[in-house]
Amino acid sequence: MAQVCRKVAIGHAGNIPEWKVVWHGIHSKVLHRTSSIHVYAEFCGPDNAINQIWGDITNCAVVAGAAAGIAAIAAGPEAALPAFLLAFKPCLKDKVGQMFADQVHVALSAHQEADTDWH
């Protein structure tokens, strides 16, 4: 049986200002944009289980992300994983049963992404 991993965005936190200076000879221009910390949950397991229950997985991930706190996940995905799982596993078990829920493995990640282009 093949294993598959799929990732879903579950939220973002912050409105981080960024600046950069662009030099054109002796003239310069200051550009700015904003970025945020984007939070993701990645789910791995047997391909037939992940693909069959993907809708339920994503629904429970959003609920668990809210319960664990998007800002908490953004600050420390590893530290926030127990709180995420505390909400995610019962939600998934209620929707698809214990057998499928036990086959799904979860990881959290967060990284900064630009929200706008430089201007």
Could you read off the pLDDT of 26-53 as tens digits, one per residue? 999 999 999 999 999 999 999 998 999 9
Structural domain contains residue 42: yes
pLDDT of residue 68: 96
pLDDT of residue 98: 94
Could you read off the pLDDT of 62-98 as tens digits, one per residue? 999 999 999 999 999 999 999 999 999 999 999 999 9
The predicted model scores a pTM of 0.86
Residue position matching structure tokens 């590893």: 78
What residues make up the domain containing 100? 3-114
Total domain count, the chain = 1
Nearest by Cα to 113 from 6, 42, 31, 12:
12
pLDDT of residue 14: 86
Instruction: Give the integer Cα–Cα distance in Å for 116 and 41.
Output: 23
Structural domain contains residue 24: yes
Structural domain contains residue 107: yes
Instruction: Give the integer Cα–Cα distance in Å for 100 and 48.
Output: 10
Structural domain contains residue 103: yes
Instruction: Give the integer Cα–Cα distance in Å for 37 and 75.
Output: 9
Structural domain contains residue 119: no
